[in-house]
Amino acid sequence: MTLYAQVEAALADEIGTHWQVGDRLPSEEDLIRRFGVSRITVRRAVQNLAGRGLVEIRRGVGTFVAAPRITQPLTALTGFVEDMHALGLEADAEVVSIRTQPASRSVADALAVPLGSDVTFVERVRRADGRALSFDQTYLIPEVGRRIAEDDLESTPIFTLLERTYGVPLVEATYRLSACLADADVAAALDVQVGDAVFRIERTTFTTDDRPVDYEILHYRGDAVTFETRLHRRPDTQ
């Protein structure tokens, strides 16, 4: 076993026993002295731990034990609160902004409304057990968006309002997942560094008659969430 792998294994064994979530690991200098290895070896070991999601490196601050990654299945149309409750986590939201604005080309196409027409725009930070996990940018068709803008979006999810308050059934949604780097707004919302990796999800939700009602751009912390799905092979596939 290489030296950096030995250091990595030793530190990994102490995470969850000697150190708990949020604890700061010893400095590079302390680890160099403890293990009698080079700075490059220590950095390689710590970077590997970060790649495994065991620690979080905060530039200029230190290295901290990371919270366990969340595995979220993609098997049904569900909202954030439903997903977190299914995992036994408490969910809450912070509303950053709510406003009416003209639909851009991408929003107009997603919601099937005229370009430049008014849509309701909502920005929220979604948390699980107090940790910022998702930064949601939601666009709603005007007939429901105006009413939802008056509701308490910090205590009631938009999906719940649509279905239970306004009688808008949610039938299905399209998902587009991609990887991107956090810009300044996303980084501030998720408490990560500009340029950190995040999952970007575009989701358009449809009601009856294949009518779009809700278009969202969701940014999830790349170091906190794993998305999981199960696919069936078609019988006629060779």
Rounded Cα distance between 231 and 68, Å, is 26
Q: All domains of the chain, ordered by start, with CATH?
A: 3-65 (1.10.10.10), 70-228 (3.40.1410.10)
- The number of angstroms, rounded, from the C-alpha of 163 to the middle of its chain's C-alpha atoms is 24
Q: What is the mean pLDDT of each run of 10 residues along the chain (238 residues)?
A: 90 89 91 94 92 82 86 90 91 95 97 97 94 96 94 94 96 96 95 91 97 97 89 78
Q: Rg of the Cα trace of the chain?
A: 21
Digit-coded pLDDT (tens) for 177-210: 999 999 999 999 998 889 989 999 999 999 999 9
Burial group, residue 2, by CB count within 10 angstroms (0-12, 13-18, 19+): exposed
* CB proximity list for 214: less than 8 A, separation 6 or greater: 138, 139, 140, 141, 158, 162, 170, 203, 204, 205
Distance CA 2, CA 7 (A): 9
User: Phi, psi (5° rounding) for residue 4?
Assistant: -65, -35
CB atoms within 10 A of CB 46: 21
Q: How far apart are CA 19 and CA 11, in angstroms?
A: 9
CB 18 within 8 A of CB 12: no
What is the value of pTM for the model shown?
Answer: 0.79
The predicted structure's pLDDT at residue 237: 62
pLDDT at 107: 98
Name the pairing type of β-strands 172-181 and 197-207: antiparallel
Residue located via tokens 């309002």: 161
How many helices (H) does the chain have, and how many strands (E)? 8, 10
